[in-house]
Amino acid sequence: MIRFSLSGLKPSTLFRVRGGVHPETRKFLSAGSAIEAMALPALIRVPLQQHIGAPAEPLVKQGDLVLKGQLIGRARGPVSANLHAPTSGKVIAVGHFPAPHPSGLPVPTITLRPDGEDRWGPRLPRLRPEDAAPEEIAARVAEAGIVGMGGATFPAAVKLNLRGKYPLHTLILNAAECEPYLTCDDRLLREHAEEVADGAGIMARALGVARIIVVVESNKPEAASAMRRHNLGMGYPIEVKVVPTQYPMGSEKHMVKAVTGQETPARALTAELGIVVHNAATAHAVHLAVRYGEPLISRVVTVSGRGIARPANVRALIGTPVADLIAHCGGLSGEPEKLLLGGPMMGQPIANLRVPIVKGTNGVLALSPSETHRSAAMPCIRCGSCVQACPCGLTPFELNARIQADDLEGAAEVGLLDCVSCGCCSFICPSNIALVQGFNFAKGRLAEKQARKHQQEETKRLAAARSAREEALAEAKRAAMAKRKAEMAAKKAREAAEAAAQPDGEVVK
Amino acid sequence: MITAAASMSALGLGLGLLLGAAARKFHVETPPIVDELEALLPGTNCGQCGFAGCRGAAEAVAEGTAPVTLCPPGGRDVALQLAEVTGSDCGCGAAGGADLSGMAEAEPMIAFIFEDHCTGCTKCFKRCPTDAIVGAAKQIHTVIWDACIGCDACVEVCPTEAILLRRKPRTLQGWYWEKPAQPFATRGTEAVS
């Protein structure tokens, strides 16, 4: 224990994470502005799939009146999440709408017209986490529809239920926010450190761990000191660790490496090391859900970039159209070169401003031409910069060569599936080669192939089941016919016998 | 000593000749690759290839009377696998008579039922090899996308022509980025191969 408490003070106890890059953070654009509330948008669109896993099942239909916090989509299956009405109003459509995704493909969406009253429905009963069983806390988190809010959107309750499967000892609260521009977690920690600490304590209780570490990058000293002031969550001591500003420090596995020195095995969970990582914003949402019975219906979003007139951090309802958020921040200043949901390194470009923000949207960025580095690709000069930058220890130039030669299996052999798509290689490449873009393509292609193979096997099974069924039917038919025939024969024989026994004239026939 | 060696070698020679003669006389066909080929085919017996089920198609491919590209639902992947087993030179050359260039673009197709035209005759429902059609007498039928293999069987039997094959719509789960074009990529690929 003493060693642990001392280790928080000594910078040398942090472990080096290999690779990584140091992009200009440009957090100053929005770091100074406090979290603001915004006016109710004219329309709210809640996609049924905002999380990893199965889409939710809609519980409302067109014309229904809903109250704020009412359950409108129920989780389908163990890995899924509930959806709640972000405000009171009328459901005007349950149909398809373009997803907040680069493809812009239509996804099932519930469209709500707010009535302006913002009237709460019955909230979930308050829970006293000090007395509640860990399962109760996890069940409440699931009920409130909380997902990982750092962007991965994995249902939080599933991660809170890892207790039985792995011997856990540490909860790491991820507030590194290594993506440039984003300041939503920074502001959340500065302004709501107490709630975040409490949420962390509740999660620690649900997980059955006694050690909580909050990890903050060194470029957010205010957030770190705010957390240090609230260093107790539900009685659990909270350590604050300041890690160097280095992208991608916020990646779960790299953070665990930086803080504990342990490396997570390839394609394994950090839980195998006894460590669970949650985002700081998730802790805040857990606090609200458990203490106040409020489901996850809003989140803090950083609206930034030089293409935004007044960059800010906004607490926006889930389902608010991106256009409304940008309008709240003074609109666009000039034609943006790129519109992104998320950070500039891993964020997804969008073409349509009418798409809504979802539970995993931590930023809306409008980048002006001066902020994007778009230039023509040049041949690879074998400088090895990408190899040095790759935090996963891969050789991006080799992966790329194999992918360009359509040798996807070969790329998988040399570690394609260990790539976390952080984009360090593309960022550092002096020849501007689209490396990570190629890896994303290859991963998608491989996944599709896998899915097709799976489908083929399943249809084979279906066809086999069908032919078995048909055979059984034919067999039953044959058996029935045979039985009938036998019965008929028996009847005939009986009749013949009877006729023989009766010495009447009929026999002549 | 010499007699022993001579008799043994004579015996060996005689038996060897006997074995050789027997092998020629009782020669059976080499174990057919039909089973192996059948395992590669989708196994849904949809009949699109024109043979009686996947077994028939496998026999035809093994005999060489049908090209490896005969299976539309299997597409390019199955054709490649078949070609590998049969040893026919596919894709790049004309030796095996298998030209994959036409199959390269084959996209997964699924059946689509126009509900306005569906009379609920249950013909397609009965014909579907994978039970992908849901329906009942005088009820509108519909297709379960995940189970449909786009085999065309239902299209043929529909009396009101209410069924069409359509390209399988892309969903968010199956979406991925395009391959980025790299003007200088050829250099890199040479180095790898």
- Domain ranges in chain A are 14-115+122-301, 377-470
Residue B9 domain flag:
no
Q: Spell out which residues of chain B touch residue A101, defining contact as CB-CB under 8 Å.
A: 172, 175
Q: Spell out which residues of chain A touch residue B131, defining contact as CB-CB under 8 Å.
A: 462, 465-466
DSSP labels for A255-282?
HHHHHH-PPPPTT--GGGGTEEEEEHHH
Whether the Cβ atoms of residue A341 and residue A322 lie closer than 8 Å to each other: yes
Q: Classify burial at A232, counting beta carbons within 10 Å of its beta carbon; exposed 0-12, middle 13-18, buried 19 or more.
A: middle
Q: Tell me which amino acid residue A91 is.
A: V
Whether B188 has a pLDDT exceeding 60, the answer reads: no
Q: Spell out which residues of chain A touch residue B176, defining contact as CB-CB under 8 Å.
A: 440-441, 443-445, 447-448
Residue B190 domain flag:
no
- pLDDT tens-place string over residues A104-115: 899 999 999 999
Facing B149 at nearest CB: one of A433, A444, A459: A459
Question: Can you give the residue range of the structural domain that contains B56?
Answer: 34-102
Residue B177 domain flag:
no
Higher pLDDT, A412 or A455: A412
Residue B180 domain flag:
no
Same-domain check for residues B98 and B127: no
> Chain B neighbours among A 40-59 (CB < 8 Å)?
49
Q: Could you say which of B102, B127, B144 is where a domain stops? A: B102
Q: Which residue of B has its CA nearest to A381?
A: B188
- Residue A106 forms contact with B (CB below 8 Å): no
A459/B45 CB distance under 8 A: no
B177/A458 CB distance under 8 A: no
* Domains of chain B: total: 2
- Label residue A225 by pLDDT band (50, 70, 90): very high
> What is the mean predicted confidence (pLDDT) over A218-238?
93
Residue B176 domain flag:
no
For residue B90, say whether it is annotated as part of any ligand binding site. Answer: no
* CATH label of the domain that carries residue B63: 1.10.15.40
Facing B180 at nearest CB: one of A441, A458, A462: A441
A401/B182 CB distance under 8 A: no
> What is the mean predicted confidence (pLDDT) over A453-466?
88
Residue B24 domain flag:
no
Q: Could you say which of B102, B130, B158 is where a domain stops? A: B102
Q: Which residues contact A1 (CB under 8 A, 6 or more apart)?
A: none
Distance in angstroms (rounded) separating the CA atoms of residues A119 and A32: 32
Same-domain check for residues B98 and B38: yes
What's the pLDDT at A506? 54
Could you tell me what percent of chain A has a pLDDT over 70?
A: 96
A401/B189 CB distance under 8 A: yes
Beta bridge partners of A237: A232
**pTM listed for this prediction:** 0.82
Choose the weakest-confidence range: A291-305, A369-383, B3-17, B103-117: B103-117
Facing B175 at nearest CB: one of A105, A402, A462: A105
What's the pLDDT at B96? 44
- Which fold would CATH assign to domain A14-115+122-301? Rossmann fold (3.40.50)
Whether A496 has a pLDDT exceeding 60, the answer reads: yes
- Label residue A137 by pLDDT band (50, 70, 90): very high
Which tokens in the block code for residue A292? Answer: 């106040």
DSSP labels for A357-385?
P-TT--EEEEE-TTT-------------H
- Residue A432 forms contact with B (CB below 8 Å): no
Residue of A97, A107, A462 to mutate, testing the B interface (most B Cβ within 10 Å of its Cβ): A462
- pLDDT tens-place string over residues A17-61: 889 999 999 999 999 999 999 999 999 999 999 999 899 999 999
Higher pLDDT, A217 or B34: A217
Same-domain check for residues B41 and B94: yes
Q: Tokens 């959340």 belong to which residue?
A: A188
Residue B127 domain flag:
yes
This complex has an ipTM of 0.77
Residue B91 domain flag:
yes
Q: In angstroms, what separates the C-alpha of B79 from chain A's closest C-alpha? A: 14
- Label residue A195 by pLDDT band (50, 70, 90): very high
Distances (CA, A) of A266 to A168, A258, A393: 19, 16, 11
- Residue A397 forms contact with B (CB below 8 Å): yes
